[in-house]
């Protein structure tokens, strides 16, 4: 009964809000999917089918109710190189295959999906928790800037086959409609929250342009200007020839397909898990990262089989959904199904929606996404965190999300290692029997072993030396090697050395390294017991009784 209640609660808490927010998201998905299809160099319908399949699978089976997935720019940028390479190879082969690069993409998506599912099965999704907060803030700031910059391209018009920025009256009309959309989205929630502000704004602006017969850029003109033929299409078909295409890979599987698959899988999972974390914070709930990995993988495999361009979670549309009241799986399912219905039945109406209305919606997303508090705290946080925040934002704009997040985590890890390397301390005291005791404080790991070694005076120490690790944690193989070498130095000088309060795992490893540690290590009932906070059932007595 509890499981059933939880499942129903995740599917929808408020059907009206979920349905209306899903329709709003579906409208915003159309130009995004089309634009990213153009970036990847594929037909708009491939992008729209990809958004539908990603959306429906992740909505029903993903780890974060209310999160929206679809075709994304981060993955499209990687796809374009694969497609170009495939088309180049196709020109050299004497086989009747049109657009071989696109067929290669479908094959690659099968591998991408397998990698992502394996990541979920191996529970790698939990590692997103290792991403520091400055990296998260840099991620949302950089992504907000990327979304803003991507909308600027929609202020261009087609003149004599060339895209140029608008000017004069067309620009003023475009700006006016954008501002009107943003004004409705800002003001309507102050009057009532029963109607999704974004959907209302789109309908109002569309009605003004249609009834006023304004000459503005619409979804339909946007597609045709980009070289597409329109939204109208049929259901995606199963790619039954896909497995036969493996013969066209020849020597390109290891050099092109497999590396691209790993990059796409990494980009998709990082963006999806980061978006999941962000929506968790916004809704004060917690999603399941491993389940999301599996759902993303399944959706990408479906895309490969049925001819979609694949994708991952979309932060902009996810925020639109949450802000519009979409909290359950129903909202994502409605968005995906509505998107497919637009393609199959509602293309003539959707093509009349002015681009300005959708730009206004995305500008409000930018305002809501950007972490404005970063300006307030930038001078109050440690310099290293400020550098990470700015660096991740800049790299997200300059390169892509995956590179930015990886770079931010590496920088944060190096800073953490450097700080902890300087924390090692040794308090020295002489016992009544003439034994010199070194009480070690701080973590002992690869970064701190140099400082650790400098604390000892092997030649001038007395014949008996004791090293107490009760306030220290031996963390890695480098630390074990440092202890091993130190013991050898003292024994080479003919001196006796003993080790106290080592953790259980450390003692096991040292004894495996050499039998002599049986005599060097002192067993003590007060030895520290280290346990992970994630496994509280391992504690058998009150925490106050543990010396950690």
pLDDT of the chain, 548 residues: tens digit per residue:
333 444 556 788 889 999 999 998 998 888 778 777 877 778 888 889 999 999 999 999 999 999 999 988 778 878 888 888 888 887 777 655 667 888 889 999 999 999 999 999 999 887 777 788 899 889 889 878 888 888 888 888 877 778 888 999 999 999 999 999 999 999 998 988 777 788 889 899 999 999 999 989 888 887 777 666 677 777 777 776 666 666 666 677 878 889 899 989 988 998 899 899 889 988 888 889 999 999 999 999 999 999 899 999 998 889 889 988 898 999 999 999 999 998 888 888 888 889 898 888 888 888 887 889 899 999 899 999 999 999 999 998 887 777 888 899 899 999 988 888 888 999 999 998 899 999 999 999 999 999 999 999 999 999 999 999 988 888 888 999 999 999 999 999 999 999 988 888 888 888 887 787 888 888 765 555 544 444 444 444 444 444 43
Per DSSP, 544 falls in state G
The H or E element containing residue 469 is: strand 464-474
Cα–Cα dist 26/339, whole Å: 5
Q: Which domains can be identified in the chain, with CATH numbers? A: 2-91+98-124+157-370 (no CATH), 422-545 (3.30.750.24)
Cα 371 versus chain centre, distance: 17
pTM value is 0.72
Q: Could you list the beta-strand ranges (E) of 119-260.
A: 156-159, 162-165
Token pair of 365 as six digits: 């997303």
Token pair of 300 as six digits: 């990408």
Task: Note whether 296 and 58 are within 8 A (CB).
Answer: yes
Per DSSP, 221 falls in state H
Task: Note whether 400 and 355 are within 8 A (CB).
Answer: no
CA angle 337, 79, 38 (to 5 degrees): 65
Q: Could you list the beta-strand ranges (E) of 4-161.
A: 69-70, 156-159
Cα–Cα dist 91/86, whole Å: 9
Q: Residue 2, exposed/middle/buried by CB under 10 A (0-12, 13-18, 19+)? A: exposed
Cα–Cα dist 183/177, whole Å: 10
């Amino acid at each position: 009964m509890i499981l059933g209640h939880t499942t129903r609660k995740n599917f929808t808490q408020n059907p009206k809000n979920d349905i209306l927010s899903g329709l709003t998201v579906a409208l915003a998905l159309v130009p995004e999917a089309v634009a990213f299809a153009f970036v990847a160099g594929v037909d708009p319908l491939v992008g729209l089918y990809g958004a539908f399949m990603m959306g429906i699978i992740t909505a029903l089976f993903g780890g974060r109710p209310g999160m929206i997935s679809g075709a994304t720019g981060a993955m499209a940028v990687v796809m374009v190189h694969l497609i170009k390479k495939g088309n180049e190879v196709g020109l050299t082969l004497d086989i009747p295959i049109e657009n071989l690069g696109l067929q290669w993409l479908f094959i690659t998506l099968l591998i991408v999906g397998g990698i992502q599912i394996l990541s979920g099965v191996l529970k790698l999704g939990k590692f997103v928790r290792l991403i520091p907060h400055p990296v998260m803030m840099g991620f949302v700031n950089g992504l907000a800037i990327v979304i803003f910059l991507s909308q600027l391209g929609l202020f261009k018009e087609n003149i004599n086959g060339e895209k140029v920025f608008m000017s004069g009256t067309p620009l003023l009309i475009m700006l006016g409609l954008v501002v009107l959309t943003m004004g409705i989205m800002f003001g309507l929630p102050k009057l009532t929250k029963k109607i999704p502000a974004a959907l209302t704004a789109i309908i109002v602006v569309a009605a003004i342009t249609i009834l006023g017969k304004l000459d503005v850029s619409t979804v339909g003109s946007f597609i045709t200007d980009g070289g597409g033929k329109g939204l109208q299409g049929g259901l995606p078909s199963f790619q039954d020839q896909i497995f036969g295409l493996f013969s066209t890979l020849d020597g390109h599987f290891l050099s092109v397909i497999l590396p691209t698959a790993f990059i796409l899988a990494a980009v998709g999972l990082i963006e999806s898990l980061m978006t999941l974390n962000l929506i968790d914070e916004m809704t004060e709930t917690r999603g399941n990262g491993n389940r999301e990995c599996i759902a993303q993988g399944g959706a990408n495999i479906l895309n490969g089989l049925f001819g979609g361009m694949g994708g991952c979670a979309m932060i902009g549309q996810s925020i639109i959904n949450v802000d519009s009241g979409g909290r359950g799986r129903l909202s994502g399912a409605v968005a995906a199904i509505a998107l497919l219905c637009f393609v199959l039945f509602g293309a003539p109406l959707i093509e009349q929606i002015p681009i300005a209305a959708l730009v206004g919606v995305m500008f409000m997303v930018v305002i809501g996404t950007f972490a404005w508090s970063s300006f307030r705290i930038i001078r109050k946080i440690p310099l290293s965190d400020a550098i990470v925040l700015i660096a991740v934002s800049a790299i997200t704009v300059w390169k892509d999300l995956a590179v930015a997040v990886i770079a931010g985590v590496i920088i944060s890890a190096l800073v953490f290692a450097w700080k902890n390397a300087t924390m090692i301390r040794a308090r020295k005291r002489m016992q009544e029997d003439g034994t010199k005791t070194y009480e070690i404080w701080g973590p002992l790991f690869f970064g701190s072993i140099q400082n650790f070694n400098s604390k000892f005076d092997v030649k001038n120490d007395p014949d008996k030396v004791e090293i107490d690790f009760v306030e220290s944690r031996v963390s890695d193989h480098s630390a074990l090697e440092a202890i091993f070498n130190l013991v050898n130095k003292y024994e080479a000088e003919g001196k006796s050395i003993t080790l106290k309060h080592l953790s259980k795992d450390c003692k096991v490893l040292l004894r495996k390294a050499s039998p002599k540690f049986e005599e060097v290590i002192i067993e003590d009932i007060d030895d520290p017991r280290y346990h992970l906070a994630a496994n509280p059932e391992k504690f058998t007595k009150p925490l106050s009784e543990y010396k950690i």
